[in-house]
Amino acid sequence: MRRLACVILACGAIISRSYPQDVSVFSPRAARIVEGTNTSRATLYPDTMTAAAIGDYSALIAIGKVGIAIGGGLLVDFPKAWFTNPLPLVKPMQTGDPAGPHFLECRTYREGASLEVSVDHRNFDGSIERFRHVVKAIVRGHALFEGDTIRVSLKHTTAPIISGADAVRVAVDAAGDGRFVLAAPAPYVVHPGPAVSALIVAPSDAVVGQALELHVSLFDRFYNLAEGFSGELAIAGLGPEAIPLTMGVGRAIAKVSWTPGDAGYAFPELTGALHAFGGPVRVHATPPARRVYWGDLHSHSDASKDGIGTGEYAFAREATRLDFYASTEHGIDDGSVERVAPGDSISPSEWDTNIENVKRFYEPGRFVSLLGYECSLPSGHHNVIYRGLEGRPWPEHRVKSVERLWELLVAGDAITIPHHLGILWGGRDTPVTGPELQPIITGGGVGGPKLDWTREHHAALRPLREIYSAHGQSEFFDRGDALAYESVKYTGARSAEGPHYARDAWAAGLPMGVIASSDDHQAHPGLPHNGLAAVVAPELTRDAVFDALRNRRSYGTTGARILMEFSAGGFEMGREGKASGAVLGRAVVAAPSPIAYAEVLRLDADAKEWKSLARWEHPGRLMEQNFTVNVAAPTMIYLRAELEDQTNGRIARAWSSPIWLAP
């Protein structure tokens, strides 16, 4: 392992060199700490802060009764949220410029004592995590005694962007024998910033005379739930008068009951001090046979070693008011010596915790939790979604290929959904800037899990693909598209030239539907610009949602809750059917805000080209149109739409699953 540079600190001195990022590969290591007790105690100054507040933060470790011998020392572990910016990129610590951002300083005040300091990415359990920065300080020159202190400071930096309580962990090697034991940690609390954005959510389908609940959440600039709000807010679009809102105490959440009186469409809108468009509500005269439900099937938390944050299930259910959700942490690391991939995987105990969360949060009719994980293979990153709770997260190093993964799964009990289909990681030197003090340069390698659609395909186990996430769109190759990876700048990724995208899979004859999801890495699933999956199902249960996904009764959006209906020749989106001649089709789009365009795209199978079969410009918030498609040969069509207004700085789009017709 190529470690970060190691230097000797005299008493009161500062580190004089910068250290490079660790680029080693994972190999299993023993835990860094052992059983035992130590009376040393850590305190963080300050121990209360606002998310991303700029300042100096110091962990002061008061040495316990037995002191620290020469050759002994400390391991100090600030949670990895201190070293990430709002993108899933490492925030660079540096030791060369005391006045510059993200400066690391270590001091001891015992005369004659010095500290030999190094920093690496090894967690206390021995795993390697790209965001982890563990400071190791070894005592040289003179022993430390009870009451002496060591101060580890992060200066001119930003506090974590994720709100909540956490602690800086400390382990002490008192005897100098390399055996570190845990000492008392330094707890702290990060509070959210002021509310700057809002989300208003209502069920997509309602019935005349039956009350429904509208939900409003307010967020700070990092999408933490705000703590209260004093401005005036109201919900318009549900009747002649707006409905005033009172935000909850402690959390900026409000719930309003509304009973529709007439069939048709309602377009709720949050007005006042903050503004947000709500997804349209389709009001039926009688209960519909099927309804549209919204979810996120690609999301990470602190359990994924390239993720941060906790409480993702509660956030999905309460903050973004999803109907269904799966936490797809990276595949399990079973400690095998065969493993050679970066250590971003969850542990067996974390998988057990995920199963318990799936059980605990499942509430049929209100919230569906699904068991899943991400298997990041060279032949494509795939999220595995299980019908039940018996699935296991097969390690990537044991699976090795998606074909082998399918051999381990049972059709009907699991599905695999590939994502960011043609991505190249890094390769751009464009600065990607987070909060004020977080300049990131995204150079490095240009590899990526580009999908090869000429390989074996298993239609029953891979019925869908993710067409959009926070990274950008995977519909087709176009580096100039407003949602291309390089345009979105979620990371330093670029679009890979070649037949790796959704349209290329369809042109290759693969009958795959679509969803979208977030690929969020901060335990914040369901945000209105990062991608949502929509399913059409008879009820909100685990089986019904899974069956809708497996049968391609699904579509995807960038996060705006756009309603779509799409049919041709009597077949709905996701279906295959027989038809000949001029076939009548229907396209319905109901959107939170005005529609820029909607269009039906058709694949010319002979020329392998895509042509616009029908297009409607600026139809308002509701578009209901018929079209005709001539079926003289196998035909594939799909619907997509784009809105005039952006959502949190991103173009808002929606894509249907296709319809396949053959004479």
- Domain with residue 143: its CATH number is 2.60.40.680
| pLDDT of amino acid 430 | 52
Q: What is the mean pLDDT of the chain?
A: 88
Three-class SS of residue 611?
Answer: strand
Mean pLDDT of 409-433: 81
Comparing C-alpha atoms, which of 483, 454, 457, 459 is closest to residue 471? Answer: 483
Residue 434 pLDDT class (50, 70, 90 cuts): low
CATH code for the domain in which residue 544 is found = 3.20.20.140
Asked if omega into 449 is within 30° of 0 (cis), the reply is no
- Asked whether residue 506 is assigned to any structural domain, the reply reads yes
| pLDDT of amino acid 446 | 61
End-to-end CA gap in the chain: 61
Together in a domain, 604 and 629: yes
Check whether 450 has a pLDDT greater than 70. Answer: yes
| pLDDT of amino acid 188 | 98
| pLDDT of amino acid 443 | 53
Together in a domain, 284 and 301: no
| pLDDT of amino acid 3 | 32
Digit-coded pLDDT (tens) for 457-505: 999 999 999 999 999 999 999 999 999 998 988 877 889 999 999 999 9
Q: Which of 528, 559, 590 is the last residue of a domain?
A: 559
Say which residue the tokens 């595949």 belong to.
331
Q: Which of 163, 191, 219 is the last residue of a domain?
A: 191
Can you give the pTM of this predicted structure?
0.91
Together in a domain, 430 and 507: yes
Three-class SS of residue 593?
Answer: strand
Together in a domain, 142 and 114: yes
Check whether 344 has a pLDDT greater than 60. Answer: no
Mean pLDDT of 197-212: 97
- Which residue type is seen at 366? R
| pLDDT of amino acid 274 | 94
Sequence-distant (6+) residues with CB within 8 A of 269 are 200, 235, 236, 237, 275, 276, 277, 278, 592
Together in a domain, 360 and 393: yes
CATH code for the domain in which residue 278 is found = 2.60.40.10
Together in a domain, 424 and 474: yes
Check whether 212 has a pLDDT greater than 90. Answer: yes
Digit-coded pLDDT (tens) for 384-414: 999 999 998 887 877 889 999 999 999 999 9
Residue 612 burial (CB count, 10 A): 10
- Asked whether residue 37 is assigned to any structural domain, the reply reads yes
| pLDDT of amino acid 389 | 95
Residues 616 and 596: their CA atoms lie apart, in Å, by: 9
Together in a domain, 644 and 521: no
Q: Which of 135, 156, 191 is the last residue of a domain?
A: 191
Digit-coded pLDDT (tens) for 76-131: 999 999 988 777 677 778 888 898 888 999 999 999 999 999 998 888 988 778 78
| pLDDT of amino acid 387 | 96
Together in a domain, 368 and 493: yes
- Asked whether residue 432 is assigned to any structural domain, the reply reads yes
Residue ranges making up the domain that contains 29:
7-191
Together in a domain, 361 and 501: yes
Sequence-distant (6+) residues with CB within 8 A of 365 are 539, 540, 541
Residue 47 pLDDT class (50, 70, 90 cuts): very high
Q: Is the CB of residue 531 less than 8 Å from the CB of residue 476?
A: no
Strands (E), 486-580: 494-495, 513-515, 532-537, 554-557, 563-568, 571-572, 576-578
For 214, 284, 355, 498, 545, the CA distances from 362, given in Å and listed in that order, are: 21, 27, 11, 41, 12
In the chain, pLDDT over 70 holds for what percent of residues?
90
Four-residue CA torsion sign, 278, 282, 285, 288:
negative
Check whether 417 has a pLDDT greater than 60. Answer: yes
- Asked whether residue 170 is assigned to any structural domain, the reply reads yes
Q: How many domains does the chain have?
A: 4
**Largest pairwise CA distance in the chain:** 92
| pLDDT of amino acid 340 | 38
